[in-house]
A and B are shown apart, each in its own frame.
Chain A
Amino acid sequence: MEASDYLLIDQYLQGELPEEAQPAFEQRLQDDRAFAEALRERQQMQNYLKHQVQKPALEKRMADLGARYFQDEANTDSADPKEGIVVPLWRRKPIWLVAAAAAIALILLVWNPFQTSANLYEQYALHPTLALQERSVDGSSLETAEQAFNQGQYEAAYTQLSALEEQLPENPQLKLSLGIAALETDRVQEGRAQFEALAEGDTALQEYGRWYLALSYVKTGDNEAARPLLQALAEQPSAFQQQAQDLLQQL
Chain B
Amino acid sequence: MEQHPDHKHILALRQGDFSTLDHIYREHAPTITQWVVRNSGSVSDAQDVFQEGIIALHQKAQDPTFLLTCPLGALLFQICRNKWFSQLRKKNRETEVRNAEAERYESEGIVQNTLEQIEEEEIRQRKLDQAFGQLSELCQQLLQLLASGMASAEVAEQLGMNNANTVYRRKNACAERWRNLFNAQTA
Contacts and interface: CB of A to CB of B under 8 A. Distances in A.
A42 to B, nearest CB: 7
Chain A at the B interface: SS class: helix
Contact of B47 (A42, A57, A58, A66): A66
A71 B47 CA distance: 9
A3 to B, nearest CB: 6
Interface in B128-187: 128-129, 132, 143-144, 146-148, 168-169, 171-172, 175, 178-179
Contact of B16 (A44, A45, A54, A83): A54
Contacts of A65: 21-22, 25
A245 B5 contact: yes
Given A57-B16, A114-B105, A48 B125 contact: yes
Chain B at the A interface: SS class: helix
A49 interface: yes
Contact of A45 (B29, B55, B178): B178
A48 B129 contact: yes
Interface in A35-56: 41-55
Contact of B71 (A55, A112, A246): A246
A183 B103 CA distance: 25
A52 B55 CA distance: 10
A249 B30 contact: no
Interface in A1-37: 3, 6-7, 10
Contacts of B5: 245
Interface in A195-212: none
B85 interface: no
A114 B163 CA distance: 56
Contacts of B27: 82, 242
A151 interface: no
A49 B18 contact: no
Interface residues of B, number: 58
B144 A49 contact: yes
Interface in B8-26: 14, 16, 18, 21-22, 25-26
Contacts of B73: 113, 242, 246
B48 to A, nearest CB: 9
Contacts of B146: 49
A222 interface: no
A250 B18 contact: no
Nearest to A49: B147
Interface in A118-143: none
A47 B16 contact: no
A3 B175 CA distance: 12
B31 A53 contact: no
B55 A58 contact: yes
Contact of B172 (A6, A44, A46, A72): A6
Nearest to B22: A65
Given A52-B144, A54-B58, A69-B25, A45 B30 contact: no
Given A41-B179, A54-B58, A117-B106, A72 B30 contact: no
A70 B29 contact: yes
B63 A45 contact: no
B87 interface: no
B34 A112 contact: yes
B25 A110 contact: no
Contacts of B50: 66, 70
Interface string B53-67: 011001100111000
A44 B30 contact: no
B18 A57 contact: yes
Given A47-B125, A70-B33, 8 more contacts: A52-B147, A65-B22, A68-B25, A82-B27, A116-B104, A116-B106, A242-B73, A249-B71
